[in-house]
Amino acid sequence: MALTAKRLRAAILAGTLAFVAAPVRAADEAEVKDFLLDNGLELVVIPDHRAPIVTHMVWYKIGSADEPPGKSGIAHFFEHLMFKATTNHAAGEFDRAVSDIGGSNNAFTSYDYTAFHETVPPSALEQMMGFEADRMRNLILTDDVIKTERDVILEERRSRIDSNPQAVLEEEVSATLWQNQPYRIPVIGWMQEMKQLNRPDAKAFYDSYYRPNNAVVVVVGDVDPDAVKAMAERTFGKVARGPDLRPRIRPVEPEQNTKRTVTLTDARVSVPSFSTQWVVPSYHTARDGEAEALDLLAEILGGGNRSRLYQQLVVKQGIAADAGAYFQGTMLDATNFTVYGSPRGDAKLADVEAAVDAEIVRIAKEGVTDDELERAKNRYVRSMIFARDKQDDMANIYGSTLATGGNVKDVQEWPDRIRKVTADQVKAVATRYLVLDHSTTGYLLPQQQAGN
């Protein structure tokens, strides 16, 4: 379907949103309302009266990392299947209803969640809730539906992964970095397993996870929280609670003891590049402010053009076309911290990597200055204001946090926790986690530069 490209992109981006954007200002905290319906569905309402529009998101606490062994791709498969016919609506009816009122809708899948969302005028919110409540339980999963949509996801894999050297490399880097955790397995699935997904698999998955007690509904916009709650009760509230779900306890990583590399050489690559990743705690698994310190470490080391990597490699030395760092904090299990770079002009990839490594060694050894820490915190505050301006960012922050073991308070107190991080804490996480001998580096090389 036409939406699939956009959907996959959203899936890939979802994990980084909390890092790019940031939560509401303290002044708005009291306005956020968190309800729990009798059937276990959680409803979070964030009033935003600047424009007559509302963003409605349904987050299911089921992602690719929850899939049964050998069934990779089934979580993302549902991102597609949920747009097919239900016992109450023909396939495409929901999409047409959204278009008819000038709204937009989409869906995305990540390791830890699957989300469906619409942006519409407030008058259409209850209708959207009705459609979402309907497809939560009433999908018609026939062999024919499965076969047709399976062909779509297979083609999606071919076009978005298999024909893209960067995507193939990223898959194998993940399969290398993660020795035990299911983040090793691609969200879209391994081809040989996707091909075998069938109706019994889909039915079992749907019946286990598409339940009100496994969902978080986030509504941001020009609405009144109590009125939204009443709408949710009239729609989602009619859906029967499902059996209790087992705690999301997944295999975790063993100790990291080696330096690993993954190299893909491909004639379609023109500019070589590399990325180095480490296993680090996420907001959900970290203790003692380590996740907040990792967010600031990523910002100082490589978060944009004020960062050390950009200033040193791109501006001063002029050897890199690009260089940076990021931390995927909003994950249920241990996550990754990544640095990356690519050369410019006559510079070699090895020179860029060496310069990035030198910055890693320096920040782990010497730490950061109070001044640059303060500036990094200020950049975060600015990003919060930016996020506040975008309704869908706000919805994403709440939804991704709530779907990965956090709560409303975690989102709201996050700015304060960021402000409390000290330079010593940033140095401590750099020293503890950014150990080059225990990292995984991916290299994307043009054919002629295989020996680089």
Options 12, 168, 334, 381; binder of a copy of itself; rule CB under 8 A: 168
Q: Does 102 bind a copy of itself (CB under 8 A)?
A: no
CB of 153 to a copy of itself, least distance (A): 15
CA angle centred on 274, ends 273 and 275, rounded to 5°: 140
Options 89, 241, 260, 344; binder of a copy of itself; rule CB under 8 A: 260
CB of 363 to a copy of itself, least distance (A): 21
Question: What is the DSSP pairing of strand 54-60 with strand 114-120?
Answer: antiparallel
* Residue 192 vs 270, nearer CB to a copy of itself: 192
Q: Does 264 bind a copy of itself (CB under 8 A)?
A: yes
Applying CB under 8 A, the span of 37-45, 110-118, 261-269, 304-312 interacting with a copy of itself comes to 261-269
CB of 250 to a copy of itself, least distance (A): 7
Number of residues that bind a copy of itself (CB under 8 A): 34
Q: Does 240 bind a copy of itself (CB under 8 A)?
A: no
CB of 439 to a copy of itself, least distance (A): 10
Q: Does 164 bind a copy of itself (CB under 8 A)?
A: no
Contact 63, 113 (CB under 8 A): yes
Residues 178-193: b if buried by 16+ CB within 10 A, e if exposed: bbebbbbbbbbbeeeb
Closest of 237, 6, 263, 254 to residue 117, by C-alpha: 6
Cβ-proximal residues to 256 (8 Å cutoff; 6+ apart), any chain: 179, 278, 279, 435, 438
Hey, which residues are catalytic here? Answer: 79
* Residue 152 vs 191, nearer CB to a copy of itself: 191
Q: Please state, as a whole number, how many other Cβ atoms lie within 10 Å of the Cβ of residue 347.
A: 18
Q: Please state, as a whole number, how many other Cβ atoms lie within 10 Å of the Cβ of residue 447.
A: 10
CB of 184 to a copy of itself, least distance (A): 7
DSSP 202: H
Q: Does 257 bind a copy of itself (CB under 8 A)?
A: yes
Q: Please state, as a whole number, how many other Cβ atoms lie within 10 Å of the Cβ of residue 248.
A: 16
CA angle centred on 232, ends 388 and 211, rounded to 5°: 100
Options 16, 164, 166, 179; binder of a copy of itself; rule CB under 8 A: 179
Q: Does 184 bind a copy of itself (CB under 8 A)?
A: yes
CB of 440 to a copy of itself, least distance (A): 9
DSSP 118-160: EEE-GGGHHHHHHHHHHHHH-B---HHHHHHHHHHHHHHHIII
CB of 266 to a copy of itself, least distance (A): 9
CA angle centred on 150, ends 85 and 166, rounded to 5°: 125
Options 5, 26, 51, 70; binder of a copy of itself; rule CB under 8 A: 70
Q: Does 265 bind a copy of itself (CB under 8 A)?
A: yes
Question: What is the DSSP pairing of strand 104-109 with strand 440-446?
Answer: unpaired
Site string for a copy of itself, 24-63 (x = CB under 8 A): ----------------------------------------
Options 191, 271, 381, 435; binder of a copy of itself; rule CB under 8 A: 191
Applying CB under 8 A, the span of 105-113, 125-133, 172-180, 338-346 interacting with a copy of itself comes to 172-180
Instruction: Say how far apart CA 74 and CA 82 lie, in whole Å.
Output: 12
CA angle centred on 61, ends 55 and 65, rounded to 5°: 125
Q: Does 200 bind a copy of itself (CB under 8 A)?
A: no
Instruction: Say how far apart CA 377 and CA 9 lie, in whole Å.
Output: 28
Closest of 191, 193, 196, 184 to residue 163, by C-alpha: 191
Q: Does 270 bind a copy of itself (CB under 8 A)?
A: no
Options 192, 243, 345, 451; binder of a copy of itself; rule CB under 8 A: 192
Options 258, 267, 346, 371; binder of a copy of itself; rule CB under 8 A: 258
Q: Which residues bind a copy of itself (CB under 8 A)?
A: 69-70, 72, 168-169, 171-172, 175-176, 179-180, 182, 184-185, 190-193, 249-252, 254-255, 257-265, 437
